[in-house]
């Protein structure tokens, strides 16, 4: 039976859930969308960040969001190292770098997963904070605070990344390297260093996103597998490299998933993201907010 | 070419070795060395060491390993043959197990098979095991033999008849005044089997099902599902969920609320039996009535139970696995005890003889007496339904004392009465 209240609730929760999807996809929008790096280890780095946040929260009682901020520089450095390794071993060697790069990043993802298991075991882990496990009452609707946190952080991250990429010299250089690497080289800039920097930014974003991941739900070492499809779907649907588009695409996905979950039966929900992706690509191959090449 | 000739009165090196060997074998030390050279009894299995089921798989395997070590410390079976386990990680995936069990049977040529932990990885190997006519000790799978009908299958889990699980939970709910039910189940083999039996029991009792929904694996957020469930205003909420989801569902229930009319909530939530999950969920668990298999209540200690948990507790810390280990580990040990008793009685590894013994006798284990019905499940259910009470946040040790999970079913193990409605029990 149709209920307007349920539909409204589904839309509100869907928007918030979509923001969360957006936050965990923004890094990939830089690494895959702008740099063309087939970064399938993106969700593994995300889960690694969650465990780092868990460690700080569990042993030093650091607030999960603050912990996410604290690990950001470490993840930036991790990104620099990961890209340099990828570049030296795969990217500079030829035209099939992308295919071999996928194998490289799958390997990295498995190594991260095993390291987490060795260090933390296989059990689920979660964090504690005042905003976890409580809800804000808005009329008949109750909104979990943890989703409101995801909404705020995702919005802030999107704005910051958009401003960085459009207003700063390095940001514009990153966009330039995405458009024409050779032209940038002819102008005297080193595109590899710029790409390495951008990959560092993409990985640093995962510090905050990892905090959101463990705030929204408990994590386990293999959770990355659940996010590979979702994050790539959001980035491709948005149009490669569009930060604002990533957030909007994620919100569309979140709302669609939640409405299907609530109104039509949960079993259909996993198919929604890929059905929407196929639909979008059929109509706009460049994605919702991508530019025609 | 030279020819080796043994001179009269002299002794060859070969004879010297043979004589020394015979003399050594005659001594007690020699007997042990010769026995040590006997081929071990090899038991093959896959076990989830990674993936969503790894928490349970590792604890279960430790239980089996403790049994192996105990048996080997006593000198082994069949006159000194040691137990050797051949174990592969199935990554919690049903797609891995058929190939692993083919390898165990055809390449590793193991003597006996144990099933992997859980329903989903076990289901695909059932037809193959039946076709090959092999004995299989099940490991906490639910109704995987109901359609296959393998007569050499023996499940170590305390489930009993298929409908007993739902029956006991709905009994508790209806006694508390429940007149309608909601069903929320994961879209997985195990949970769907639970949901199916719950529907059948509800239909027999004319208990209306006002909400019936399956959710897919990897669902991130349960708020909207719980909101829809709440809108249906059920009295009894039966949840059949897997570990990654159980925590998400309870968190959403805590945030969204479930309604004052709900008398009991829970039933089949996998995950709330594991120490780390219980510690993480803390006070959110209060009021939930959920199944379990072993709890630290007086009535649940049998011969060897305490000694087992003493060993488990020490080794679990080193292995970084569930420090409590109530749910699976003692049943892993019991699997070993079942096969040990069958081998001792049959005096061989002949699979049909072992199966006949297991089918026709009652077996004493650290989880109590076990007798099997023709379908290889327990003759009588020993699944507990227990209500979480007085649980505080971030405290693992509280779960080692009695009273944190009050047993409501079965009657002979009962340790308290239900507190209802659910919202009152949560306070």
Q: Residue A254 maps to which CATH number?
A: 1.10.3470
CATH of the domain at B201: 3.40.50.2300
Q: Do A124 and B247 touch (CB under 8 A)?
A: yes
**pLDDT tens for residues A116-142?**
988 988 778 889 899 988 899 887 788
Q: What is the pLDDT of residue B15?
A: 53
How many Cα atoms sit within 13 Å of B84 on the Cβ side?
14
Q: What is the pLDDT of residue A291?
A: 64
Domain count, chain A: 1
pLDDT over 90 at A181, yes or no: no
Q: B110 in a domain, yes or no?
A: yes
Chain B CA closest to residue A118: B320
Q: What is the pLDDT of residue B4?
A: 38
Chain A CA closest to residue B281: A126
Stretch A94-114: mean pLDDT, rounded?
A: 84
- Do B220 and B123 lie in a common domain? no
Chain A CA closest to residue B323: A123
Residues 6+ apart with CB under 8 A from A67: A52, A53, A56, A57, A211
Residue A216, chain B, CB below 8 Å: the answer is yes
- Do B422 and B273 lie in a common domain? yes
Stretch A246-264: mean pLDDT, rounded?
A: 89
Phi and psi, residue B44, nearest 5°: -105, 145
Secondary structure (DSSP) of B85-153? EEEEE-TT-TTTHHHHHHHHHHTS--SEEEEEESHHHHGGGHHHHHHHT--EEEES--STTTTT--TTE
Residue B192, chain A, CB below 8 Å: the answer is no
- Do B313 and B201 lie in a common domain? no
**pLDDT tens for residues A37-59?**
889 999 999 999 999 999 999 99
**ipTM score:** 0.82
Q: A204 in a domain, yes or no?
A: yes
Q: What is the pLDDT of residue B18?
A: 52
Minimal C-alpha gap between B212 and chain A (Å): 9
Residue B255, chain A, CB below 8 Å: the answer is yes
Residue A133, chain B, CB below 8 Å: the answer is yes
Q: B23 in a domain, yes or no?
A: no
Minimal C-alpha gap between B76 and chain A (Å): 32
- Do B254 and B287 lie in a common domain? yes
Q: Do A217 and B49 touch (CB under 8 A)?
A: no
Residues 6+ apart with CB under 8 A from B118: B48, B53, B56, B57, B92, B139, B140, B141, B190
Q: Which of residues 12-71 of B touch A (CB under 8 A)?
A: 49-52, 54-55, 58
pLDDT over 80 at A99, yes or no: no
Residue A218, chain B, CB below 8 Å: the answer is yes
Residues in chain B, how many?
427
Domain residues for B59? 41-155+303-366
- Do B284 and B388 lie in a common domain? yes
Residue B412, chain A, CB below 8 Å: the answer is no
Minimal C-alpha gap between B162 and chain A (Å): 25
Q: Do B276 and A121 touch (CB under 8 A)?
A: yes
Residues of chain B with pLDDT under 50: 1-11, 16, 22-36
Domain residues for A59? 4-283
Closest CB to A134: pick one of B224, B225, B255: B255
- Do B289 and B332 lie in a common domain? no
Question: 3-class SS at A140?
Answer: coil
Q: What is the pLDDT of residue B30?
A: 44
How much of chain A, in percent, has pLDDT values that exceed 70? 96
- Do B181 and B141 lie in a common domain? no
H/E element holding B266? Answer: strand B264-269
- Which tokens hold the place of B18? 């043979």
- Do B214 and B344 lie in a common domain? no
Q: A289 in a domain, yes or no?
A: no
Q: What is the pLDDT of residue A8?
A: 87
Chain B CA closest to residue A221: B51
Closest CB to B247: pick one of A20, A218, A261: A218
Q: What is the pLDDT of residue B38?
A: 84
Q: B18 in a domain, yes or no?
A: no
**Is the C-alpha dihedral spanning A107, A109, A115, A118 positive or negative?**
negative
Q: A249 in a domain, yes or no?
A: yes
**What distance in Å separates the CA atoms of residue B24 and residue B43, rounded to the nearest whole number?**
30
pLDDT over 80 at A270, yes or no: no
Q: Which of residues 115-154 of B touch A (CB under 8 A)?
A: none
CB B123 within 8 A of CB B189: yes
Q: What is the pTM of this model?
A: 0.79
Q: B19 in a domain, yes or no?
A: no
Q: B24 in a domain, yes or no?
A: no
How wide is the angle at C-alpha B252 spanned by C-alphas B120 and B186, nearest 5°? 20
Domain count, chain B: 2
Question: 3-class SS at B72?
Answer: helix
Q: B374 in a domain, yes or no?
A: no
**pLDDT tens for residues A227-239?**
998 899 999 999 8
Instruction: Name which of B186, B220, B282, B283 to mutate to probe chain A: the one with the most chain A Cβ atoms within 10 A of its Cβ.
Output: B220
**pLDDT tens for residues B211-244?**
999 988 778 889 888 988 999 999 999 999 987 7
């Amino acid at each position: 039976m149709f209920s307007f209240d349920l539909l409204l609730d589904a839309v509100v929760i869907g928007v918030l859930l979509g923001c969360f999807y957006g936050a965990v996809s923004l890094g990939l929008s830089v690494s895959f969308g702008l740099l063309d790096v087939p970064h399938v280890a993106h969700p593994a780095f995300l889960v690694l960040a969650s465990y780092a946040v868990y460690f700080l929260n569990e042993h030093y009682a650091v607030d999960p969001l603050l912990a996410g901020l604290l690990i950001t520089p470490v993840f930036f450095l991790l990104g620099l190292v990961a890209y340099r390794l990828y570049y030296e071993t795969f990217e500079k060697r030829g035209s099939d770098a992308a295919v071999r790069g996928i194998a490289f990043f799958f390997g990295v993802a498995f190594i991260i997963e095993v390291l987490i298991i060795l260090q933390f075991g296989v059990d689920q882990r979660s964090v504690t904070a005042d905003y976890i496990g409580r809800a804000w009452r808005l009329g008949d609707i109750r909104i979990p605070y943890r989703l409101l946190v995801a909404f705020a952080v995702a919005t802030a991250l999107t704005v910051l990344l958009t401003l960085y990429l459009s207003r700063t010299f390095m940001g514009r250089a990153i966009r330039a390297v995405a458009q024409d690497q050779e032209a940038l080289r002819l102008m005297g800039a080193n595109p590899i260093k710029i790409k390495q920097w951008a990959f560092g930014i993409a990985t640093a974003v995962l510090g905050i996103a990892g905090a959101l991941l463990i705030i929204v739900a408990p994590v386990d070492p293999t959770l990355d597998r659940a996010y590979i499809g979702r994050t790539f779907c959001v980035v491709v649907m948005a149009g490669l490299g569009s930060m604002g588009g990533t957030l909007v695409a994620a919100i569309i996905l979140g709302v669609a998933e939640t409405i299907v979950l609530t109104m039509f039966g949960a079993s259909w929900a996993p198919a929604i993201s890929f059905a929407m992706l196929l639909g979008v690509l059929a109509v706009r191959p460049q994605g919702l907010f991508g530019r025609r090449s | 070419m030279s020819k080796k000739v043994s001179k009269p009165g002299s002794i060859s090196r070969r004879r010297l070795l043979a004589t020394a060997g015979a003399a050594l074998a005659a001594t007690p030390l020699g007997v042990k060395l010769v026995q040590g050279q006997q081929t071990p009894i090899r038991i093959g299995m896959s076990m989830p060491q990674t993936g969503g089921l790894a928490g349970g798989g590792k604890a279960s395997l430790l239980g089996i390993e403790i049994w192996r070590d105990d048996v080997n410390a006593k000198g082994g079976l069949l006159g000194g043959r040691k137990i050797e386990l051949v174990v592969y990680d199935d990554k919690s995936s049903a797609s891995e197990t058929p190939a692993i069990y083919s390898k165990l049977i055809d390449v590793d040529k193991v003597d006996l098979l144990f099933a992997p932990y859980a329903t989903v990885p076990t289901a695909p190997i059932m037809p193959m095991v039946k076709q090959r006519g092999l004995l299989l000790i099940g490991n906490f799978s639910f109704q995987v033999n109901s359609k296959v009908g393998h007569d050499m299958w023996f499940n170590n889990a305390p489930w009993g008849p298929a409908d007993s699980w739902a029956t006991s939970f709905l009994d508790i709910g209806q006694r508390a005044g429940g007149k309608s039910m909601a069903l929320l189940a994961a879209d997985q083999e195990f949970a769907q089997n639970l949901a199916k039996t719950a529907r059948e029991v509800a239909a027999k009792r004319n208990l209306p099902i006002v909400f019936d929904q399956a959710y897919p694996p990897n669902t991130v957020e349960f708020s909207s599902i719980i909101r829809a469930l709440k809108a249906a205003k059920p009295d009894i909420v039966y949840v059949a969920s897997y570990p990654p989801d159980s925590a998400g569902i309870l968190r959403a229930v805590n945030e969204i609320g479930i309604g004052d009319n709900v008398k009991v909530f829970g039933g089949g939530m996998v995950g709330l039996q594991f120490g780390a999950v219980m510690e993480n969920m803390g006070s959110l668990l209060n009021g939930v009535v959920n199944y379990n298999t072993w709890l630290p209540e007086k009535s649940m200690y049998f011969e060897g139970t305490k000694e087992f948990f003493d060993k488990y507790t020490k080794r679990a810390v080193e292995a970084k696995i569930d420090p409590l280990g109530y749910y699976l580990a003692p049943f892993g040990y019991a699997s070993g005890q079942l096969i040990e008793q069958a081998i001792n009685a049959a005096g061989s590894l002949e699979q049909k003889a072992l199966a006949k013994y297991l089918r026709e006798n009652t077996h004493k284990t650290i989880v109590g007496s076990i007798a099997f019905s023709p379908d290889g499940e327990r003759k009588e259910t020993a699944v507990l339904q227990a209500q979480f009470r007085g649980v505080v946040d971030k405290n693992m040790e509280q779960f080692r004392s009695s009273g944190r999970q009050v047993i409501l079913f079965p009657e002979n193990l009962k340790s308290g009465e239900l507190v209802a409605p659910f919202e009152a029990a949560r306070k």
